[in-house]
């Protein structure tokens, strides 16, 4: 029964995808069991960053005529109830105030502000606590959140589209259309789900991308561009001040409207510095769209968590070769005329 209701809580949590970062996605289900049967009397999820957490929304959803059942109910929540004041009061305190009898949870919260303290507070108040139910599914749901705290870097998703003969662009890096319209629309949905989106210098110069979500409803990610010597022209879409943009370079640190130039030290590993700075800015996930040099550098350094590769039936005969795929296949499906394969990195850096 625990797994049944926890799966419902996990499903609810996914409704916050792309809306709650840097908070985790959390779902909550309140269940009352009696001789007459078992039923859900309340449920909720964390809907938007800064708004009420899942436990609060679940408690508020309980109908007035069922409120008296809370002390006899079990609360299923996908992540440890918070124990500190942030933008909202501690959820552990709310559950104690409502005198719930039991809390069942997927995962401990890796945030040092919580990190077991929520469970300790509940137990000290006499609430029965059970943890680790569908633990791995909970970690998959909030892989970005766990990577951010446990590895002190953003969760990195590398994406590219390649032709049937293994090229990601034409001769001399010439930009060519590879994937179809369904794949392109899906990419815009993916962009809306991540905190940042990154490209290298060559891709920025040749493709002149906008890196927004104009083909999908949702928020624009923070644009991240590598321009070590500040040679990219100011006329590029990346510098149009329509969304926050980070420019990593060796020349200067400066803020101009929505563009932040961040200087890194040339004598230290560039990618390590960049990821450390993104972590300090609380950017939990980055969608990397190229080019080949940046993608390969991240792959070689082990700084990646997912690969999302579209393979088109098109042939070009010559051009820039696609990076070598790594990792374990997680899924494969057809998106229009393109085949999408998603790989996981089993060795985390």
The residues carrying an active-site annotation are 55
Q: Write phi, then psi, for 128 (nearest 5 degrees).
A: -75, 130
Phi (first) and psi of residue 257, to 5 degrees: 55, -120
CA 191/CA 222 separation, integer angstroms? 10
Three-class DSSP category at 84: coil
3-state secondary structure of 298: helix
Report how far residue 60's alpha carbon sits from residue 71's, in angstroms, rounded to the nearest whole number.
Answer: 15
Strand order in the sheet with 328-335: 254-256, 259-263, 245-249, 222-226, 196-199, 285-288, 155-162, 306-311, 338-344, 328-335
Cα–Cα distance measured from residue 293 to residue 205, given in angstroms and rounded to the nearest whole number: 14
Q: What is the DSSP annotation of 183-206?
A: HHHHHHHHHHTSSEEEE-HHHHHH
Using alpha carbons, list the distances in angstroms from residue 102 to 92, 121, 128, 188. Answer: 12, 13, 5, 41
Scan for tokens 């060519």, then name that residue. 176
């Amino acid at each position: 029964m625990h797994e049944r209701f926890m799966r419902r809580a996990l499903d609810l949590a996914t409704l916050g995808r792309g809306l709650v970062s840097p908070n985790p996605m959390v779902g909550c289900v309140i269940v009352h069991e009696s001789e007459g049967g078992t039923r859900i009397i309340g449920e909720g999820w964390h809907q938007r960053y800064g708004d009420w957490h899942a436990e609060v929304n679940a408690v508020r959803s309980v109908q007035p005529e069922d409120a008296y059942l809370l002390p006899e109910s079990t609360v299923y929540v996908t992540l440890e109830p918070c124990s500190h004041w942030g933008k909202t009061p501690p959820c552990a305190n709310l559950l104690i105030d409502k005198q719930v009898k039991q809390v069942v949870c997927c995962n401990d919260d890796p945030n040092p502000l919580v990190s077991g303290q929520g469970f300790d507070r509940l137990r000290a108040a006499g609430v029965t606590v059970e943890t680790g139910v569908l633990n791995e599914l909970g970690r998959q749901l909030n892989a970005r959140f766990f990577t951010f705290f446990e590895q002190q870097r953003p969760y990195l998703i590398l994406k590219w589209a390649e032709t049937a003969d293994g090229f990601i662009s034409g001769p001399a890096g010439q930009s060519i259309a590879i994937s179809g319209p369904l794949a392109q629309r899906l990419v815009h949905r993916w962009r809306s789900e991540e905190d940042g989106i990154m490209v290298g210098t060559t891709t920025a110069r040749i493709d002149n991308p906008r890196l927004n979500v104009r083909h999908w409803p949702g928020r624009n990610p923070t644009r991240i561009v590598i321009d070590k010597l500040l040679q990219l022209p100011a006329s590029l879409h990346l510098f149009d001040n329509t969304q926050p943009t980070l420019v990593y370079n060796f020349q200067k640190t400066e803020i101009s409207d929505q563009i932040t130039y961040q200087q890194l030290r040339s004598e230290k590993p560039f990618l390590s510095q960049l990821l450390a700075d993104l972590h300090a800015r609380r950017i939990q996930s980055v969608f990397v769209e190229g080019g080949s040099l940046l993608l390969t550098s991240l792959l070689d350094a082990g700084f990646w968590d997912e690969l999302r590769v579209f393979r088109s039936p098109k042939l070009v005969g010559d051009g820039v070769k696609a990076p070598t795929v790594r990792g374990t296949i997680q899924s494969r499906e057809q998106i229009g005329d393109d085949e999408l394969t998603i790989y996981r990195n089993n060795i985390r850096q």
